[in-house]
Chains A and B, each alone.
Chain A
């Protein structure tokens, strides 16, 4: 069974590689390369997979999941400029893809043991663009 918890955070970023020219960065990232940055209301959906505990009837305590998302993602990222304030995005371009992988890395260790396994991280940058990451190499 899959269970999904949704959370929202607002953050700014700029997508550009320091090694590339301004023109090349604009080709790659469009307006997202504007040097002073811009922001989004990100929507995060964290999906866990597991079987319900026969006693509690729960796959995972959603209050605990809410707290884990709060501590691992929202506290460090909400109302922050990702490039300046949230490592590794001082070194890594904070595309939606890379932010989703980073969120996976922060959440996954909490589900090493126990009934529930982290199944998917879906991150909406806007209503019209989202990524899904399930821990795969690609």
Chain B
């Protein structure tokens, strides 16, 4: 069974790669390359999978998942500028594709500490940048 929990954070980013000229950046990223960045209300869905524990009736202890996501992602991401405030994006362009990979890495880094048993496992992550742009990753 899969359990999906939804989180939200607001952050800004600028899509701009040092590997390209200003013109090439403008061509590739369009207005997302504007010099001071811009922001989104991101919606993050985290899906855990596992058997339903026969005594608790739970697949995942949701407060533990909330704490993990809060400490590993929301605390650092919410109300921040990706390019300036997060070490991962000093060199990596903060596209949603790259952001969702970083989120996966950050969750995996402490998943087994939060959930020491065989289950639950991280099944996937979905990141909604806007209502029209959604990115999904299966772990």
Q: List which B40-64 residues lie within 8 A (CB) of chain A.
A: 49-52, 55-59, 61-63
A97/B52 in contact, CB under 8 A: yes
Tally of B interface residues using CB under 8 Å: 20
Binds A, one of B2-10, B90-98, B100-108: B2-10
Count of CB-CB pairs between chains A and B under 8 Å? 57
Docked pose: A30 CA to B50 CA in angstroms = 21
A98 adjacent to chain B (CB < 8 Å): yes
* Interface band, chain A: 20 to 34
B57/A137 in contact, CB under 8 A: no
B57/A93 in contact, CB under 8 A: yes
B57/A132 in contact, CB under 8 A: no
A61 adjacent to chain B (CB < 8 Å): no
Specify the chain A residue showing the minimal Cβ separation from B61.
A28
Interface residues of B (CB under 8 A from A): 1-7, 49-52, 55-59, 61-63, 119
Interface residues of A (CB under 8 A from B): 15, 17, 28, 30, 92-98, 100-101, 127-133, 136-138
A97-B58, A129-B4 known, 9 other contacts, Cβ within 8 Å = A15-B57, A95-B52, A97-B1, A97-B3, A97-B59, A98-B57, A100-B1, A129-B62, A131-B2
